[in-house]
């Protein structure tokens, strides 16, 4: 596992596509914070920390509406080979490229593009989800 954020979000996407109810994910502080944002935005029902065989893991419950997963696709914007940092004025331009939720890691925590715009902070654009 080289890129924790990419691995985290792609595991959730693959589980949603294969119609699983829940998925076990590797634990890290940034993964936990991204999971909280996804719960707040309605892509996940819940996320909780679990201690399995001495290893900390995250257990995420995927949200469905009429047996169709709410999460349909993800685009990783920032990668290990190319980190994408944007100031607050450019973040909303990225969001306007389609009907999607953009997740950003800022100095004030992990948040959506709308929250970052309200707080007036920029940061690393992690991924877009819809």
Q: pTM for this one?
A: 0.92
Could you give phi then psi for residue 4, rounded to 5 degrees? -60, -40
Which stretch of DSSP H or E encloses residue 56?
Answer: strand 55-62
Whole-number Å distance between alpha carbons of 50 and 56: 6
**pLDDT digit string, tens, across residues 49-98:** 999 788 999 999 999 999 999 999 999 999 999 999 999 888 888 777 77
Residue (of 20, 5, 4, 31) closest to 126 by Cα position = 5
**pLDDT digit string, tens, across residues 29-47:** 999 999 999 999 999 999 9
């Amino acid at each position: 596992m080289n890129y924790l954020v990419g691995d985290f979000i792609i595991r959730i996407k693959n589980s949603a596509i294969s119609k699983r109810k829940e998925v076990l994910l590797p634990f890290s502080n940034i993964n936990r914070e991204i999971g909280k944002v996804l719960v707040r935005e309605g892509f996940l029902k819940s996320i909780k920390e679990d201690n399995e065989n001495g290893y900390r893991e995250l257990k995420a419950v995927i949200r469905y509406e009429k047996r169709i997963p709410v999460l349909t696709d993800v685009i990783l914007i920032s990668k290990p080979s190319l980190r994408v940092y944007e100031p607050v004025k450019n973040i909303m331009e990225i969001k306007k490229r389609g009907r999607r939720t953009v997740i950003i890691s800022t100095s004030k925590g992990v948040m959506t593009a709308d929250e970052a715009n309200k707080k007036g902070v920029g940061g690393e654009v992690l991924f877009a989800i819809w």
